[in-house]
Amino acid sequence: MSIAVIIPAFNEGKTIKKIIEKVKTVKEINRIIVVSDGSTDNTVSIAKKCGVEVMDLPKNIGKGGAMSIGVKNCQEEIIVFLDADLVGLTGNHIRRLIRPILNQKTDMTIGVFTNGRIMTDLAHVFAPFLSGQRAMKKILFEELTAVDISRYGVEMALTKYVKKNNVPFIKVNLNKLTHITKEEKHGFRKGLMSRFQMYLEILKIIKQPK
């Protein structure tokens, strides 16, 4: 089965190169697409220098919309989504996401941070289904409705869909993987406001009728 990795990114020039380099070490991957969601920094130029496909959206439409555009522009059977601000990513983390699907053990995997940093590990302990690190059969994403407007609620929308339709999925531990928090990225006040907005978007998805 062919595999595409889609990396939605908004102003992730500091970390995008390392993410791409690690993805390239996984021989099972057929295609890498970075979707720049209206980035105003050097995310696009760095990704292009890494020799991967880059989709440069003219304005920010939200994570769900960026992921949806990436999926619509690939034909691979399995899609892997990775956040662009990961710290400690290895090829083994990616293989742990894709192998259960390649081996026909499940239709979707959700990556859960373990033994990384307390603040990010705890977030996945209490809300593992919000993880942005996951792999799935492409058809699952294509059947999801309104993903292009769900923004940060896209992970919850995916989780609700597979539960409602009894789609098999499993959680896989991603040891010593973490990411840069919003407060670290934007400063405490702005980061906190961004986190609050993210939770509001997730709450909207949770409240939608099943």
* C-alpha span between 188 and 202 (Å, rounded): 21
What's the pLDDT tens digit per position in 114-133? 865 555 545 554 455 778 89
Task: Give the count of domains, the chain.
Answer: 1
What's the pLDDT tens digit per position in 173-199? 999 898 776 556 655 566 556 555 665
What's the pLDDT tens digit per position in 18-35? 999 999 999 999 999 999
Which range marks the domain in which residue 29 is found?
A: 3-207
* C-alpha span between 185 and 88 (Å, rounded): 17
Q: Which of 15-24, 31-40, 61-70, 128-137 has the lowest mean pLDDT?
A: 128-137
Angle between helices 154-164 and 63-72 (to 10 degrees): 60
* C-alpha span between 5 and 70 (Å, rounded): 9
Task: Give the model's pLDDT for residue 121.
Answer: 43
Q: DSSP states of 121-189 as a string?
A: HHHHHH-GGG-S-EEEEHHHHHH-SSGGG-GGGHHHHHHHHHHHTT--EEEEEEET-EE--HHHHH-HH
CA–centroid distance for 10 within its chain? 12
What's the pLDDT tens digit per position in 71-109? 999 999 999 999 999 999 999 999 999 999 999 999 999
Question: What phi and psi values does residue 23 have, to the nearest 5 degrees?
Answer: -65, -35
Task: Give the model's pLDDT for residue 71.
Answer: 96
Q: Which residues contact 199 (CB under 8 A, 6 or more apart)?
A: none
CATH of residue 69's domain is: 3.90.550.10
Mean predicted lDDT score pLDDT of the chain: 85
Q: Which residues contact 141 (CB under 8 A, 6 or more apart)?
A: 67, 68, 71, 79, 147, 158
Question: Cα angle at 183 between 180 and 189, to 5 degrees?
Answer: 165
